[in-house]
Chains A and B, each alone.
Chain A
Amino acid sequence: MERIKSFNPKKFVSDNAIILLILLLAVFTAFNSDNFISQSNLKNLIINVSPRFIIACGVSGCLIIKGTDLSAGRQVGLAACVSAMLLQQMDYAAKMFPNLPDIPWPVAMVIVMAVMAVFGAINGAIIAFLKVPPFIATLGMQLVVYGICSVTTGNQPMGGYKRSYLGVASGTLKTATGIELLDYIPYLAIFAFIIGLFIWFLYNKTRHGKYMYAIGGNESAAQVAGVNVPATIIRIYVLASMLYGLAGFLVGAKAGGASTATAYGYELEAIAACTIGGVSANGGVGKVSGVLVGVLVFEVLKICLQFLRLDPAYTFIAQGLVIIIAVALDLRKYLAKK
């Protein structure tokens, strides 16, 4: 058999079609609107991308094992609400739990992540032991979490956050160091960077990562090779939920408030971003760098549509189409092999 190995421009374009299209759109937008290429817009992009990247990292694990997590957005929402409950100002009039002691934000963050881990463990156990298809299991969990969120908050929006909590989102390295140039690096980006690094290490350098890719590649074969499949699946969903917890904590700080509607539709954005970034719907394939590109590209798309003054209602249609096209193009790569 003859092996052909060379850079194929046609293949590169077709493999990255959606990314290239959106970059073209960005160039078009830059020429057709005033402030698209500006410092504030760049900073805005980084702030928006950071929590979404953390969510997408969580979802990516589920997708790599041919699962999915439709409860991601609601878990982020619940995490934001729990963070709100823990971190309202001591003297805020509408405080949810007036008798709560003063909790430093890092402690609250850990509590939120631990609470969310429980939901991940339940998701994982239902999928691993009861063999409920992930689509159904997490769809059910989406409703359950939404319900819990409604009950605990009494459907009331929450605000009155402590300054230190708000500072997590509004602060930049300039705040910490005083150096003007570091204003571009918000704390949020540092969170995202650390998580990205951690996930990269986990996926590429640890046994857990190899087991995850093995299950995605062929679950039965992984089992025959001695992989503890249920434990790996549960670990993946627990980690995902902890990342939603962290993201919810950050989203709440960024918004300065939380309600049952916080992070509406984030699960779909995350799944879309992963798919655009090359996490295959067929399982076993996906890289952290791809997830980052996917999130960036999807966010750029949204900002472009805003700058082109498209009616917000239409942006949903555009986003939906991009998701479908991205998955179709991904599956085409496999069809093309026939």
Chain B
Amino acid sequence: MALVRTHPALYNAARPARPEVKAEKETGDCELSEYRLEMRGVVKTFPGVKALDHAQLKLRPGSVHALMGENGAGKSTLMKCMFGIYHMDEGEVIYEGEPVHIRGPLDALHRGIAMVHQELQPIPERSIAENIYVGRYPMKMGFLVDHEKMYKDAAEVLKEVHLNFDPKAKLGSLSVSQMQLVEIAKAVSADCKVLILDEPTSSLTAAEVEALFTIVNELRSKGVSIVYISHKMDEILRISDEVTIMRDGQYIGTWNAKELTTDFIITKMVGRELSNLYPTRSNTPGEVVFEVEDFTSINPKSFRHASFNVRKGEILGVAGLVGAQRTELMEGLFGLRCHSAGKITYQGRELKINQPKDAIDAGIAMLTEDRRATGILGVLSIADNVSIASLNQYLIGGIMLDDKKIEELVQDNVAKLSIKTPSSKTQIQSLSGGNQQKVLISRWLARDPDVFILDEPTRGIDVGAKYEIYCIIADLAKKGKSVIMISSEMSELIGMSDRVMVMCDGRVTGFIDGKDANQENIMALATQFE
């Protein structure tokens, strides 16, 4: 098979060195040869939604092309059309000067188009090498998998992307971010001419992001066209040559990355001016209400001896690197994970929490990190999603649910949090990330809890909706709720927290007052390894 990787030396020889990166100005008229791949007038309709409305994209060889837009702008959909996962209703793809029809992912790979998905699709129980070569194993005698060659090739591919893993190790033994890097190695091994990276850095640490950028730069200098989807402005401005912005499935424009500023990108993405990134908060932290002492996981590698407290009306930010066990600690407090020792007190009363129900009954609410996996009830309606945690309040005679009261609750929340939905019967999975998050917040508001644990509350949410979520959080604190907010976005932590708790490797390493918090002192505590 043509896709099976040959020796790296051959790989390089087959590829003429790419001329140095020059970022041209966008001009309307271009010769065909200038672009490696063009998508024109792409229309894609899903039941009830027009996801792409005459979108376009033009990729030059040997350049990094950032694709930006709010969630739901159609970036991933456009890429899935390019990679053959979706079939477009209208539009054309011109690849190396020829109009082509991409029949499916395998066809795309054969043509030299590779994609690293936003959601990983690994096989954790199989080896790293098998994960890299799945579907295109090197063969011998026509029908046997050539394991020796596969492991050897895999080792070379891993070396090429500066990863020092044993190709025979199970993929499942790696961390999520390491798996993501293997996924990138897989794309590289496909010897591609076009590489699509859909939010590749969402779970990477700073050092891993650097490693990724080195790989991207090397690929660029080999003449690969790279599509780079990310929400992180600083990354985009650093790595990309050109930027295409989309909004509501439509093409807004393409700019030279050097000409762009964060403000300009945001304005184009949301289609309006954003004055403030964070709302002004008017909450005043009161007395200590929620206390955790010496909280320790049953897993020795996870959180241990964690002690902290939260005040009434306070927003406590929780900072840390990937692997600092912040999520694990909070899920432990909420009863989703087991603990071996520790004491939780709320308003002087000790709480025994062994399952989420115990925590919820005690007045604690939690928004989990992975909204789709552990938050939304995808195929159920908005109404069901809002009411599921508080059904006990709507029983008539202890048996029958009061549909009218539930509908009132839902309408009330839809209005209060300005949830954009056609009706309360709409399936939650058809809403955008931001609106899904608001529905989940409504679910807890319906129970009126006193402590909110928010794990990455704005992850995967577009810029406009983020601000609304911040307003809701600020409002909760103002009403005297205690808010614990895990975030991996420094600016969010600094902008929203009254106090920042920093964790490193399962331990709480320190607290910083919100006014004094900055990138440097947070990072210093976050990297305080033992």
Contacts and interface: CB of A to CB of B under 8 A. Distances in A.
Interface in A275-330: 280, 282-285
Interface string B81-104: 000011000000000000000000
Interface in A11-28: 11
B388 A225 contact: yes
B460 interface: no
A217 interface: yes
Nearest to A227: B388
Interface in A247-293: 280, 282-285
A221 interface: yes
B388 A224 contact: no
Given A210-B401, A217-B378, A1 B384 contact: no
Contacts of A280: 379
Interface stretch (B46-54, B304-312, B480-488): B46-54
Interface stretch (A2-10, A126-134, A179-187): A2-10
Contacts of A225: 356, 360, 377, 388-389, 443
Contacts of B387: 210
A1 B391 contact: no
Choose among B378, B387, B389, B391 the residue with the greatest number of A CB atoms under 10 Å from its CB.
Answer: B391
A223 interface: yes
B375 A228 contact: no
Which of the four size classes fits the interface of chain B? 35 or more
B373 interface: yes
A218 B49 CA distance: 24
Given A3-B49, A3-B422, A285-B379, A214 B388 contact: yes
B457 interface: no
Given A1-B249, A214-B380, A228-B357, A205 B368 contact: no
A11 to B, nearest CB: 8
A177 interface: no
Given A206-B400, A206-B401, A217-B380, A338 B86 contact: yes
A213 B375 contact: no
A337 B388 contact: no
A96 interface: no
Interface SS of chain B = mixed
A258 to B, nearest CB: 35
A188 B85 CA distance: 51
A211 B384 CA distance: 9
A227 B389 CA distance: 7
Interface string A208-249: 001101101110111111111000000000000000000000
Contact of B50 (A1, A11, A205, A221): A1
Nearest to A207: B391
Contact of A3 (B48, B72, B388): B48
Contacts of B403: 205
A210 B388 contact: yes
A224 B375 contact: yes
Nearest to B420: A1
B366 A224 contact: yes
Contacts of A224: 334, 336, 356, 366, 368, 374-375
A283 B379 CA distance: 9
Contacts of A226: 356-357, 360-361, 389
B374 A1 contact: no
A220 B379 contact: no
A236 to B, nearest CB: 16
A337 B47 contact: yes
A218 to B, nearest CB: 5
Interface in A140-177: none
Nearest to A202: B399
Contacts of B249: 1
B395 interface: yes
B38 interface: no
A205 B356 contact: no
A225 B447 CA distance: 11
B167 to A, nearest CB: 32
A227 B443 CA distance: 13
Contacts of A213: 377, 380, 384
A205 B375 contact: no
B392 interface: yes
A222 B388 contact: yes
Interface in A97-121: none
13 contacts: A201-B400, A205-B403, A207-B391, A210-B387, A211-B391, A214-B377, A214-B384, A222-B377, A222-B388, A224-B334, A226-B360, A226-B361, A284-B377
Closest 8 CB pairs of A and B: A217-B377, A226-B360, A284-B379, A220-B374, A2-B50, A207-B391, A225-B389, A217-B380
Interface of B: 45-51, 72, 85-86, 248-249, 334, 336, 355-357, 360-361, 366, 368, 373-380, 384, 387-389, 391-392, 395, 399-401, 403, 422, 443
